[in-house]
Every structure is written in C-alpha cells, then in structure tokens.
Structure 1
Amino acid sequence: MSDLKIRPAAHDDIPAIVAMLADDPLGAQRESPDDLTPYTEAYERLARDPNQHVVVAERDGRVIGTLQLTIIPGLSRRGATRSIIEAVRVHADERGSGLGTRFIEWAVDESRRQGCQLVQLTSDASRTDAHRFYERLGFTASHVGFKMSI
C-alpha cells in the first residue's frame, strides 16, 4: 500500500467515481454514468462545503477507490461533533487488497483530527459482507435507519 495515495477528489475524477458507484447491484439501479451533469453539480456543492470531504484512492495515476466523509457539529452528546462515512467504493480489481481498511482508517483518523467524538456510517441492509467488514474494524450495529424519498 506504500504506492497508494489518498487525496481530495478533483473534478476530473468524477467519471471514475461514478463508475465505481454504479458497479454493484444497488448502484446499477440508482446511478447514471452516461449523464455526469448531476454528479458534476453535486461535486461543485460538496467542494464549496468545508464539512464535506470527498476523497479518492489513487495508484499509478488510476483512481481505485472513493469515499465521502461528512463532519457534523451538534448539540447532542454534550455538543459532540460527529462524522459520517458514506459512499465507500473500491474498484473491482482492488477488492480484497486492504484498500477498504486503509480508507476507513483514513476516515477515522481525519474524524479525530477534525475533533469528532463519534464516527457513524450506514450500509444497505443487503450488504452483509460490508457489515462484517465494518464490525471487524470496530463498528457496532447500533441503530435502525429509516429513509423517505422526496
């Protein structure tokens, strides 16, 4: 992993990021890699927000992973700041290489650096392999999540 670089995502990384988001059964249903316009607009919003960190893993000039880290100041838990890890994706060629572990370690370290007292993440109920992965890294399944499309 010494040749691995984790860096902020750039505009030119959008096609590779979207391709990874679409490269699984759930993503294939909800992502549209043929039209990057909404992703470009979202990237611009994220890039302006200092509490949003979209990063990529790069090896030999090739984007091989991505994740988003959101920092959320709050009042609960005695005014604790928390972070949320989302959209963790590793290129199919790199799965099982240790990149996922390295990514989560980066996100936890960055959360500490940003003064967070809690790191959260969600994972679709169908992603049982991902659940085992997060539990191995010290995360605990502690809540039931709800969504509403609007």
Structure 2
Amino acid sequence: APLGISGFLLPPQSVDRASFKMTLILGYTVFLLLMNDLLPVTGNNLPLINVFFSLCLALMVASLLETILITNIVCGSHDLPPLPKWLRILVLKYLYAFTLLVTDVLAIHDWFMFGQVIDRVLFIMYSLFIVVSLSTIMVLWLYSYSLDKRS
C-alpha cells in the first residue's frame, strides 16, 4: 500500500497512472501468493499480518477504481454537461481550499478542476487511512505480544 501512494504522483490524465496501479496490484497478488506458503498456520486466530495484507490489497484496488473515475472525469470532461452549481461550490470552493492546489481556478475548465481536487482529496484520505490502519495494527500487535509475555 505505501507503494500505491506513489501512483498519486503521476498526473491523473495520464494513462500510465492506471497501468502503474494495475501492475502494482498484479505484483502484490503474486507477493500474497508467495507469502501464503511462508506464513505459519495458526489456530483459530487470524494473524494480523494477513489482515494488513488484505487491507493493502483492498486499498490498491480502491485506488485503481479512483484513478479510473478521475481519468474519466478529467479526460472526458468536454462531453459532460456543465458542473452543477452546488457541486462547483462544494468542491471548487471548500475542498479546493482544503487541498491547497496552486493553479488558478478561473483559468481551468470546471470538470478538469473538479477531477484534480477530488484526486487530491482521495490521495489525502488514502494516505491517512494507511497511517491509521498501520498504527492500529501495530497497537494490536503490541497488545497481543504483551498478553503473550504475561502468560
């Protein structure tokens, strides 16, 4: 999943971005197949590392779906109707200020800007989700480790 963050550095209108993320998912799937043979089988408890690997795969797939959506909005914006006023206000006024984009809003087509802002918001959410989930798994691991030491 941390490598999946690097896909957000590619421009959203680039086809290479989706290809990069698909390649990451394919490589990660092969990695999971190899790890399946290496991880020990435990009793009734699901190992936390398996939860983490599954979470990372889910995040990578969600990131690919986000890329497909944003590429469709950014590249196909000339075929879309004008951006609704409520969506323009919500995204281009409030979310734009939250993501600190540096381009001039008035100089760019609304749908293109919409795609850029949503892409940045999803990148921030993706990054925060990785940090929170990794922290949670580490806390759970340390807690289970301390319980094992006591017994």
Q: TM-score, normalised by structure 2?
A: 0.25
Higher relative strand content: 1
Structure with higher helix content: 2
Structure possessing the higher radius of gyration over alpha carbons: 2
Determine which structure has greater relative contact order: mean sequence separation of CA pairs < 8 Å that are 6+ residues apart, divided by chain length.
2
